[in-house]
Structures are given as structure tokens and as C-alpha cells.
Amino acid sequence: NKKKKSINKNKKKKSINKNKKKKSINKNKKKKSINKNKKKKSINKNKKKKSINKNKKKEKSK
């Protein structure tokens, strides 16, 4: 019986570790997606700036 208990303890530990790993993986996934979004936004900002500059140039050339 004692042996069984210790085996069970180990099983529990393993499953807890599995869960921890899963969580950390999920955290990383979230971080990545947030970063993706940030990049997209900054790209969009740049696009807007460029288009504004284009418009300014057009006006000057008139």
C-alpha cells in the first residue's frame, strides 16, 4: 500500500507539471499574438504616415 501511495504522488506531480507547461506555452502563444498585433499596428501607422506625406507632396506640386 505504501508503494502505491508514493506512485500516486508521483503521478499527481507529473500531471501538475504537465499543466504548468501547458499554461506557460499558452502564455507564450498569447504574447506572440499580442506582438503580432503590435507589429500590425505599427505597420499601419507607417502606411498612414506615408500616405499623408504623399498627399502633402501632391499639394506642393500644384
The cell numbers describing 23, all together, are 499554461
**Is residue 43, in this structure, part of any structural domain at all?**
yes
**Is residue 53, in this structure, part of any structural domain at all?**
yes
In this prediction the pTM is 0.38
State how far the Cα of 27 lies from the Cα of 19, in Å rounded to an integer: 12
**Is residue 3, in this structure, part of any structural domain at all?**
no
Residue 6 pLDDT class (50, 70, 90 cuts): confident
Residue 62: per-residue pLDDT: 65
For the chain, give the DSSP string. -HHHHHHHHHHHHHHHHHHHHHHHHHHHHHHHHHHHHHHHHHHHHHHHHHHHHHHHHHHHH-
**Count of structural domains within the chain:** 1
The number of C-alpha atoms within 13 Å of 35 and in the hemisphere containing its C-beta is: 6
Residue 56 pLDDT class (50, 70, 90 cuts): confident
Domain containing residue 45: 37-62
**Is residue 13, in this structure, part of any structural domain at all?**
no
